[in-house]
Amino acid sequence: MLFRSLFLLAAFVFCLQINGFSQKSRVGFYTGYTNANMYGKIGGERVKDDALSGITFGLILDAPISKSHISFTPTLSYAQKGRITFNENSRASNLKEWIALRYAELNANFLYNTNGAKGNWFIGGGPSISFDLPSKKVSKTDDLKTENNITFGQEANCDIRGIDYGANLITGFRMKGGFFVSFNYTVGIRNLVPVQEGNDNNIRNHSLGINLGFLINNK
């Protein structure tokens, strides 16, 4: 866990060093709301669970590349993902169960930016990698709530594979003063089901998000 945290911190610090690309590079922060779910097949049946709401917050770097409309805009964030799971018994009762996944997520976005009098629209995307943080499986009824830690790993006795990777798409509007709003869709391409012989189960993360943030030292 410590190694992964240090790796992400080192990666983001490296991104900060690209200030040499442009003297107008800015750093900032953001927070937002996520609507996450998982897609795939379990036992030959398509996963039809409900989305799980969560929060995200993190750091952002905006580095215009030369005099073009393109900027390199990586983010390092805490992200909540997962899904609300159902079966015949839970749907017919007051039982609610969900998988609450937590990640440290690094997105390496390249954005196209417009130029406007009051700000600029942007759109783009890039690769995404997420490192697992302590996560839980939760069961709740009207009278009782239980939590169990999720075991990450490749082995058959684990719950979910740890590291996730995929792609991130993003669009939004940035005001001249530094405030911005963005919408993003992150889709995982790694099968998170641990390796099991004769098992073709597959399940992957995906999430929608809306974020509000501010870029410091805006020019």
The pTM of this model reads: 0.81
Interval 118-154: pLDDT, tens: 889 999 999 999 998 999 888 877 777 788 888 888 8
Domains of the chain listed by start with CATH number: 2-11+26-173+182-215 (2.40.160)
CA atoms of 145 and 158, how far apart (whole Å): 23
Count of residues in the chain: 219
Q: Helices in 51-176 by DSSP H: which ranges?
A: 88-91
pLDDT of residue 2: 46
Interval 207-217: pLDDT, tens: 999 999 999 87
Would the pLDDT of 58 be above 50?
yes
- Sign of the dihedral through C-alpha 208, 105, 103, 79: negative
CA atoms of 122 and 113, how far apart (whole Å): 4
The label of the residue with tokens 């398509």 reads 46
